[in-house]
Structure 1
Amino acid sequence: MPDGSPAGGARDADVLAGDPRATHLLAEDVHCALGDRVVLHDVSLRVSWGERVGLIGENGRGKSTLLRVLAGELSPQRGEVVRAVVGRVGFLPQRPGFPVGATIRDVLAEATAGTRALADRMRATEESLTSGEGDVDALLGTYGQLQEEFTRRGGWELDARVGELLEVFGLAGLDRRRPTQTLSGGERARLALAALVITEPAGLLLDEPTNHLDDRGVDWLLRWLSRYQNPCLIASHDRVLLDTVVSAIVDLDGPHGRAVRYGGNYRDYLDERAAARERWWQRYRDWRRQVVDARQRLDRAGRAGGNARVIRDNNKLAYHAAGSAAEAAVARATRAARQHLRRLIDERVPRPPEALRFTVAEPGEVTEPPDGVLLRAKGLVVGEVLRGVELTLSPGSRHVITGANGAGKSTLLSVLAGRRVPDGGAVERRPEVRIGYLPQESAFADERRGLLDAFAARRAAYRDDAAAELTRFGLFEPGDFDVPVNRLSVGQRRRLALALLFAERPHLLLLDEPTNHLSLVLVEQLQEAVDRFLGPAVLVTHDRTLRNRYADRVLELAEGRLVARHSATR
């Protein structure tokens, strides 16, 4: 249900579409504030029949809020929302909830109720036809329509379909009498997704649907979504999903916080962003050239004004007349040059931020070890999660570590980084090696200093130097510098952790879920920076795109040991 009645003239309506191909979901000039924070600023978006639109943007930009508004669960302060569909729009939030006391069986019964009701109506219509009651032609028409809808929903194989979904989403082993409140967050999300798929909704609003799925579940969902024809809007950071399923991308990181639409899939979006960046660089270069030209004109005008005319033939009258005209001409030229320069400064084109890259170590900064090894883990033991882990890191080596939740991946990285002492075994590293460690969770929650001051303190740098460094990375705008760190969004705190990582000029990288909480543009930049990095890198990640990129260097942490897993990706 909506969180409140529409305010400020906002309109929210369900409209019955006469033709299925006319179905659509619409947001028009939607403005939504949560407390004193504006989340959506005049956002407009339309998703039509046959479209699967990917919704992207950094954490805190309003993706989840926009989905809730379109689903009718949240009322905007102004704007228009229309759901023109034949049937119900299905909504999958990131943290789905169920009625108090509901069991798995109850959730599945509600999901299949519509299809079973169709079966009941088909049986009733069959009985009417058999008994000869009513208009036969009308009954046959009704039966045909019911049968068509029943077939579309997979009614003939409904029980088998329910079983398949529970199996593919990792829920088959659960007792269906089990209350939903006893399920883990991942299990609840997968159950809600299974129930949504069963209903075959007339429209889809999905918030990070692959978050809690394994590879098998993701593959199944992508195949199902690829066949889905009704309006579908998917907020996701899953690059495989965005590259294989969607027909358009909407970016909520557009100018002034508005939605910007790009045609095509994720790869097409990246190409367009790259082209836009090159256009930005060209505008910047043109602007710089014009500024240089304008300053040279101003300088020439100033020099011309300082050249005195020589008096000839004692003709002072002619001299003063000509001199006055020359001075006036020089003054006009100087004024015009100064106005042109002022206009250029007022219309300044900001310099595009440089691509993220790790600074190359100074020659001789790290002595080349005789065996070429910068770090070696020997027989690491930590409780029951690490049982004799061995790992060798040499310049240029890449390792991607996967494994089930709780397998000890984050524990392993913290030991390699020297943040945790193992119960057994040892980590051998050269003392001058700087380790760039990016933990999964950034420890900034209690930091009340402004962003710039906190960065400068951790860098032991002067404030001006720290500001120049942050600006060079392009991770923050100057307007963010005074915002207290504990008031930054999760995505912004992740950017701060990245800024500190790059500023360390590391020789070795240990990255724990590095793509979490980052915009996809920044994820691509970070991935390219890691590719260009000359030292060894270890990445703990569930990101399938990263795993595919390093498919021959994937290790699985299972039963406390690292084993090669060349078949980890497709």
Structure 2
Amino acid sequence: MILSCNHISKSFGTDQIINDCSFHLEEREKAAIIGINGAGKSTLLKIIVGELPADSGNVTVSKGKTLGYLSQHQNLSTDKTIYDELLSVKQDLIDMENTIRSLEIQMKDVTGDELDNLLSQYTRLNHEFEMNNGYAYKSEVTGVLKGLGFGDEDFSLHVNTLSGGQKTRVALAKLLISKPDIIMLDEPTNHLDMDSIAWLENYLLTYNGSVLIVAHDRYFLDKIVTKIIEIDNTAVTVFSGNYTDYAAKKAVLRNMKLKEYLNQQRDIKHQQEVITKLKQFNREKSIKRAESREKMLDKMELVDKPTELNDKMHIRLDPKVVSGNDVLTVKDLSKSFGDNFLFSGLDFEIKRGERVALIGNNGTGKTTILKIINGLIPADYGEITLGSKVTIGYYDQEHHVLDPDKTLFEEIQDAYPDLNNTQIRNTLAAFLFTGDEVFKYIRDLSGGERGRVSLAKLMLSNANFLILDEPTNHLDIVSKEILENALNNYTGTVFYVSHDRYFINTTATRIIELTGHTIVNYIGNYDYYIEKKDILTPKALTDATAAINDSMASSACQTPSSAQGSSKAEWQQSKEEAARLKKLKNELKHTEDKISQTEERISAIDEEYNNPDIASDTAKLVELHNERTSLSEMLDELYEKWEELSEELIDK
């Protein structure tokens, strides 16, 4: 055991935050602290590192073990470059290296005992330097910086000129390079793109020390942790396993608790009916028996009804009008800002009922695409076409659609003047704004609170095409799960940008990756994307697309009348090649459609298994099983065919 928290309690004024918290962390164990916003997660970390005193209880760290802590907000203020700031962590190795170089120079000019002494000192220092990975510390610094999303051109930037998110990444890099025995991270993924988060996952998985994380990134937690420490209503409970294991166990425990509560309520009701009946007999013995039962009821330890957190906030998204099947068509879209070239020639369509996630690294232009679709900024080139009866509802990650000088009540009232006061209050109450909170100004709200107001406006819009930019930012896990359920039950169409892989995995029916100034399409959720992304790499697809475009352009230009320097045979060959490419692309599209249809049928069969009527029909179950087996085999063949066609397209 490397860390132990024993009976920790903490209050702020009359608000109890943590009550009698106890847990421990083993060497090399990876654990997460979870809970809703305001539950006390960050407070607990600060108590462990000594930034806040506990009201009672104690924290014990094994003798000689070091703690490294990354808070959510960093205020690094130094004139050093990013690279030099990280090198400062290795100052002991730098000093040792300088001493070794100095000894090498001294040994050239001495002999005898003095040389022996210097040689002995040199050998000892050299061994220590090597044992501490001294010969690779510069590579280590470079690797961590690049892993966290800094390019070579960023290394010379001065720390005091960086944004808050960049400073947090620098602080995280310094912490990782310092290699403490216990790493403690508070929301480490907030300022990282997907590639950097994946890199951090691998780093922490193989880290030769203990890790304690506060995070709302459930996919991240699933990959790393083997223990969940939950803070719920001031109480702390420890669960073994990752987040998915915790969620399953939590559901089982809640169902058990609910069953216990309902059984007790049934017993109480029965006892009360018996007592009433006994008293109605109006006999001495029956009255005594009634009184005895009443005393038993009074002594009964009541089971509290388990609260369902998802009932606290209600999101129901219902479009008023059903759109046409073609919701959005984007053709040849291009955009750059000065010398910053984002993308060109983007073509994609979104159909009614799809939930499409747009993913990609920071700075590739994801939010720009959403703003172009919404008419907030112009495209350099290209065409955006909305389908019949399409009504857009837009969720902006910066919440520019909210007026900071309005109260919550005024924000809703001005946007929807037909609503009366009661309807506005009920809407805000559904998003946890009650009483005088409705008169708070937008400018005074936290990021999570602004997100809830934006979602409230979205709910009232009755839009049939939701465009969401980072909708889970600043939301705690419970709020994310509420939003996921709302989107999965939504009958309209959704197009969103998110870096929350668990959210994408749960909600997306298709993924569009923006990479290499173009897009790659994946028919499935995030797990499917991870499985398939290496089959047809973005670079390979980009090269293939460029080759196709060049070939098509070439064939279009080289007609018999204009290609004076080409023979008729060469023109004919070019034409045939263009036709083959077109046929190949059509066959690839047909295969993708077939995969989608087959996957939908398999999902439908899986749902039929859960039908009670079918569950008791052995013949029907056998029929479904045989069909599913056949479809699974067909799907494997389709996957292979898709891979072959994709590779053939690249070869062309």
* TM-score normalised by length of structure 2: 0.62
How many angstroms does 1:166 deviate by?
A: 3.0
1:62 alignment counterpart: 40
Whether the aligned pair in 1 keeps the contact of 2:484 and 2:506 (CA below 8 Å) is no
Pick from 243, 246, 266 the counterpart of residue 269 of structure 1: 246
2:223 alignment counterpart: 244
1:18 alignment counterpart: none
Whether the aligned pair in 2 keeps the contact of 1:401 and 1:540 (CA below 8 Å) is yes
How many angstroms does 1:90 deviate by?
A: 1.9
Alignment of 1:168-567 (within 5 A): 168-174=147-153, 176=155, 178-252=157-231, 254=232, 256-290=233-267, 292-294=269-271, 296-297=273-274, 300=277, 304=280, 326-328=282-284, 349=305, 352=308, 366=321, 369=324, 372-374=325-327, 392-405=349-362, 408-410=365-367, 412-413=369-370, 420=376, 428=386, 430-431=388-389, 437-442=394-399, 443=402, 448=407, 460=419, 463=422, 476=432, 481-482=434-435, 484-485=437-438, 486=440, 490-495=447-452, 497-498=454-455, 501=458, 507-548=464-505, 553-557=510-514, 564=521
SS at match of 1:484: helix
Q: Distance in 1 between matches of 2:70 and 2:295?
A: 57
How many angstroms does 1:293 deviate by?
A: 3.2
Pick from 81, 91, 95 the counterpart of residue 113 of structure 1: 91
Q: Distance in 1 between matches of 2:295 and 2:406?
A: 46
How many angstroms does 1:456 deviate by?
A: 13
Whether the aligned pair in 2 keeps the contact of 1:52 and 1:248 (CA below 8 Å) is yes
Pick from 90, 93, 104 the counterpart of residue 82 of structure 2: 104
Whether the aligned pair in 2 keeps the contact of 1:403 and 1:558 (CA below 8 Å) is yes
Q: Distance in 1 between matches of 2:223 and 2:514?
A: 29
Whether the aligned pair in 1 keeps the contact of 2:512 and 2:522 (CA below 8 Å) is yes
Q: Distance in 2 between matches of 1:434 and 1:298?
A: 61
C-alpha distance after superposition, 1:67-123 (max 9, x if no partner): 333333444555434443535422222333334323334413321113345667889
Which structure features the higher share of helix residues? Answer: 2
How many angstroms does 1:249 deviate by?
A: 1.3
How many angstroms does 1:500 deviate by?
A: 5.7
SS at match of 1:527: helix
**Over the residues paired in the alignment, what is the CA RMSD in angstroms?**
4.9
How many angstroms does 1:282 deviate by?
A: 1.6
Higher RCO structure, 1 or 2 (CA under 8 Å, sep 6+): 1
Is residue 53 of structure 1 aligned with residue 11 of structure 2? no
Distance 1:52 1:123, change over 3 A: farther
One-letter amino acid of the structure 2 residue matched with residue 98 of structure 1: L
Q: Distance in 2 between matches of 1:192 and 1:215?
A: 19
Q: Which runs of 5+ in 2 are unaligned?
A: 532-652
How many angstroms does 1:180 deviate by?
A: 0.9
How many angstroms does 1:206 deviate by?
A: 1.5
Q: Distance in 1 between matches of 2:169 and 2:304?
A: 50
Distance 1:123 1:27, change over 3 A: farther
Q: Which runs of 5+ in 1 are unaligned?
A: 1-21, 306-325
One-letter amino acid of the structure 2 residue matched with residue 56 of structure 1: I
Of residues 91-100 and 346-355 in structure 1, the stretch that sits farther from structure 2 once superposed is 346-355
One-letter amino acid of the structure 2 residue matched with residue 275 of structure 1: V
Name the % identity. 27
One-letter amino acid of the structure 2 residue matched with residue 46 of structure 1: H
* TM-score normalised by length of structure 1: 0.70
Q: Distance in 2 between matches of 1:244 and 1:45?
A: 22
Of residues 344-353 and 510-519 in structure 1, the stretch that sits farther from structure 2 once superposed is 344-353
SS at match of 1:198: helix
One-letter amino acid of the structure 1 residue matched with residue 419 of structure 2: A
Whether the aligned pair in 2 keeps the contact of 1:171 and 1:191 (CA below 8 Å) is no
SS at match of 1:68: helix
Q: Distance in 2 between matches of 1:415 and 1:160?
A: 41
One-letter amino acid of the structure 1 residue matched with residue 36 of structure 2: E
Distance 1:335 1:78, change over 3 A: closer
1:29 alignment counterpart: 8
Q: Distance in 2 between matches of 1:414 and 1:427?
A: 14
Q: Distance in 2 between matches of 1:46 and 1:150?
A: 34
Whether the aligned pair in 2 keeps the contact of 1:388 and 1:561 (CA below 8 Å) is yes
Q: Distance in 2 between matches of 1:214 and 1:71?
A: 28
Whether the aligned pair in 1 keeps the contact of 2:20 and 2:235 (CA below 8 Å) is yes
One-letter amino acid of the structure 1 residue matched with residue 468 of structure 2: L
Whether the aligned pair in 1 keeps the contact of 2:451 and 2:471 (CA below 8 Å) is no
Q: Distance in 2 between matches of 1:349 and 1:278?
A: 11
